[in-house]
């Protein structure tokens, strides 16, 4: 009987560990206990403040960078996947920041997000110069100053067969 109780307790702990979706206030507390996560969270609050308050229609690149940094901490990803429960302010904030979240898609590049495409391209020496030119020529698009028609040729015409082909296919809704 004692072994059965121990096995059930271990099984229960395993289920809790595997289904470790935090309630958002718990995820925030865990983040605040980790120095890197707390710093990244404070940077996110500062960088995304204007966007979250509705002062800007486009998510600023420094807000996206802050979210990337937050996601690179041990406890940061829990803030993205946490459950707001009945907390209306939490749900509203998550809904507001959703367009700024960098996307990472597994597998085929046909549904790849721009952040993932850029990261992949930066890893390839043949793609990186094209990415630099693309960002230099198309930065106004990402900042909402011109429409997609002002892009001209963009990237992907290099014929290198590398990651540069991912860039034009990345989600047009992403700001960068």
Domain ranges of the chain: 17-100, 109-169
Q: Within the chain, how many helices (H) and strands (E) appear?
A: 9, 0
Which one of 19-33, 35-49, 131-145 scores highest in mean pLDDT?
35-49
CATH class of 17-100: mainly alpha
**Minimum mean pLDDT range among 72-76, 101-105, 163-167:** 163-167
Q: Is the model's pTM score more than 0.85?
A: no
When comparing pLDDT for 14 and 169, which is higher?
169
Distance CA 117, CA 135 (A): 12
Distance CA 65, CA 115 (A): 10
Distance CA 161, CA 164 (A): 7
pLDDT grade, residue 124 (50/70/90)? confident
Mean of pLDDT over the chain: 72
pLDDT grade, residue 21 (50/70/90)? confident
pLDDT of residue 174: 40
């Amino acid at each position: 009987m004692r072994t059965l109780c121990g096995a059930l307790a271990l099984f229960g702990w395993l289920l809790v560990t595997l289904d470790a979706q935090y309630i958002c206030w718990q995820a925030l507390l865990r983040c605040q206990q980790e120095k890197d996560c707390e710093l990244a969270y404070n940077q996110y609050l500062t960088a995304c403040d204007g966007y979250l308050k509705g002062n800007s229609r486009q998510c600023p690149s420094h807000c996206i960078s802050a979210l990337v940094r937050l996601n690179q901490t041990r406890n940061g990803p829990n803030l993205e996947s946490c459950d707001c429960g009945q907390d209306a302010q939490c749900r509203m904030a998550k809904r507001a920041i959703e367009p700024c979240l960098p996307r990472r898609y597994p597998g085929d590049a046909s549904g790849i997000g721009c952040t993932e495409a850029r990261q992949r391209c930066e890893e390839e020496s043949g793609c990186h110069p094209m990415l630099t030119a693309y960002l230099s020529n198309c930065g106004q698009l990402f900042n909402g100053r011109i429409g997609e028609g002002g892009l001209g040729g963009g990237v992907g015409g290099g014929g290198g067969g590398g990651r540069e082909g991912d860039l034009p296919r990345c989600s047009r809704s992403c700001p960068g």
